[in-house]
């Protein structure tokens, strides 16, 4: 835990939030292009690194299974799929999620 805290401080906490926002933007924009609805707030001052989403035609279980087939782990919360990208992930990983959910 100490090493993680030191790494975060080295990176600069002020740099992690913009990175998470950029990653979640890539994820949300791709999901919306695929017909998904994002249920997480996305306003300038109210977004978070947690992205909850659903599809009008495909169940949460069906979507989660498609992700699991590709070793992508999403959690179900209150009838929605939930992903929580973090700063150390990549845009390519976000696109991989989007591609996995292209029905």
> Does residue 92 belong to any structural domain of this protein?
yes
pLDDT at 37 over 90: yes
What is d(CA 27, CA 32) in angstroms, rounded to the nearest whole number? 9
| Domain residue limits at 25 | 15-100
pLDDT at 10 over 90: no
What is d(CA 23, CA 30) in angstroms, rounded to the nearest whole number? 11
Number of separate domains in the chain? 1
> Does residue 2 belong to any structural domain of this protein?
no
pLDDT at 4 over 80: no
pLDDT cut 70: percent of the chain above it: 99
> Does residue 3 belong to any structural domain of this protein?
no
> Does residue 5 belong to any structural domain of this protein?
no
> Does residue 21 belong to any structural domain of this protein?
yes
């Amino acid at each position: 835990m100490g090493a993680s805290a030191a790494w975060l401080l080295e990176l600069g906490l002020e740099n992690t939030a913009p990175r998470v926002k950029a990653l979640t933007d890539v994820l949300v924009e791709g999901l919306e292009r695929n017909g998904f609805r994002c249920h997480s707030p996305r306003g300038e001052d109210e977004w978070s690194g947690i992205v909850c989403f659903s599809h009008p035609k495909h169940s949460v279980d069906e979507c989660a299974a498609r992700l699991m087939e590709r070793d992508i782990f999403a959690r179900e919360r209150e009838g929605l799929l939930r992903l929580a990208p973090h700063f150390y992930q990549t845009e390519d990983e976000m696109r991989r999620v989007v591609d996995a959910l292209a029905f």
